[in-house]
């Protein structure tokens, strides 16, 4: 098959012009009075059938798609990589846009709740929630922000910290810890003096129970990694000795008398 593009990373880049090269010859011009549309449709049907036969353009592209699950990322065809990247980026953009709309609607819904509509603080939840509403309403009087916006932000922080901490996000767990400490401080400073300790203790117990989910899987035990040494040391003793040079054969009997028979030596 002829390709107009050069190979990239050892892969051939198919060109759509290859499909035109595989088309059957254009049918001759119809005779006067004959239908021109019928010939064109027959030519297109033949071209479609030809491209799906073994070795055809569409047949090879389908084979490349079928082999994706058995290939690594570097072995996948380049046009499939481009399609996957484009689809992934489009999905991320749509998710971010949807997340922005959801967050905006959530903030508007939470802001619609009056910050001081906590009743008289009766009940377990009212004992914890009412001091927070009162504290935020008092502080908002000195700030350029509505009390409902502060209360909505407080709720959203706790929700994100709880959900993100459940999935093991470190930043969400830090936000959850700060959320709990700030809530206890607000309750301690706003609750009635007679029941301040009880309200703060009740809030601490609720926060501890919720932390079972927010801090799921967190362990205070130190993690010890035992990795085998990369280089193994093998001690060995090497002795270097210098051997004397051998004595020539003529010098072995230099000190003996000359009258000694060789067999008596």
**Cα–Cα distance, 231 to 34 (Å, whole number):** 86
- pLDDT tens column, 103-147: 777 666 655 655 555 555 667 888 888 999 999 999 988 888 888
**Tokens 């990373």 appear where?**
9
Cα 249–chain centre separation:
83
Mean of all residue pLDDT scores within the chain: 76
Helix intervals (H) in 167-195: 170-190
What are the φ/ψ torsions at residue 20 (nearest 5 degrees)?
A: -70, -30
pLDDT band at 257 (very low <50, low <70, confident <90, very high): low
223 pLDDT above the threshold of 70: no
Q: Is the pTM of this model over 0.75?
A: no
Q: Tell me: the pLDDT tens digits for 28-75?
A: 555 555 555 666 777 778 878 887 888 777 888 888 888 888 878 788
Q: How far is CA 185 from the centre of its chain?
A: 36
Name the CA radius of gyration of the chain, rounded: 43
Predicted local distance difference test score (pLDDT) of residue 199:
92
Q: Residue 194 pLDDT > 80, yes or no?
A: yes
Cα–Cα distance for residue pair 76/78, rounded to 1 Å:
6
Contact status, residue 151 vs residue 115, Cβ threshold 8 Å:
yes
Average pLDDT over residues 238-244: 70
**What is residue 3's predicted lDDT score, i.e. its pLDDT?**
45
């Amino acid at each position: 098959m002829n390709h107009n593009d050069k190979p990239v990373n050892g892969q051939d880049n198919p060109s759509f012009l290859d499909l035109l090269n595989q088309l059957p010859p254009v049918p001759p011009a119809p005779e006067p009075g004959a239908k021109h549309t019928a010939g064109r449709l027959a030519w297109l049907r033949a071209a479609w059938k030809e491209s799906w036969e073994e070795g055809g353009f569409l047949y090879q592209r389908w084979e490349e798609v079928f082999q994706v699950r058995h290939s690594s990322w570097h072995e996948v065809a380049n046009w499939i990589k481009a399609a996957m990247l484009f689809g992934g980026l489009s999905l991320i953009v749509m998710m971010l846009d949807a997340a922005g709309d959801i967050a905006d609607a959530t903030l508007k819904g939470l802001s619609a709740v009056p910050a001081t509509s906590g009743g008289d603080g009766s009940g377990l939840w009212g004992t914890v929630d009412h001091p927070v509403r009162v504290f935020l309403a008092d502080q908002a009087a000195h700030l350029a922000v509505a009390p409902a916006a502060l209360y909505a932000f407080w709720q959203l922080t706790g929700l994100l910290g709880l959900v993100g901490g459940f999935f093991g996000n470190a930043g969400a767990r830090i936000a959850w810890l700060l959320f709990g400490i700030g809530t206890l401080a607000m309750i301690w400073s706003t609750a009635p003096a007679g029941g301040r300790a009880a309200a703060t203790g009740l809030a601490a117990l609720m926060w501890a129970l919720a932390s079972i989910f927010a801090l799921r899987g967190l362990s205070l035990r130190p993690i010890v990694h035992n990795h085998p040494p990369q280089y193994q040391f093998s001690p060995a003793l090497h002795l270097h000795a210098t051997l004397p040079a051998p004595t020539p054969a003529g010098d072995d009997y230099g000190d003996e008398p000359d009258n000694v028979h060789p067999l008596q030596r």
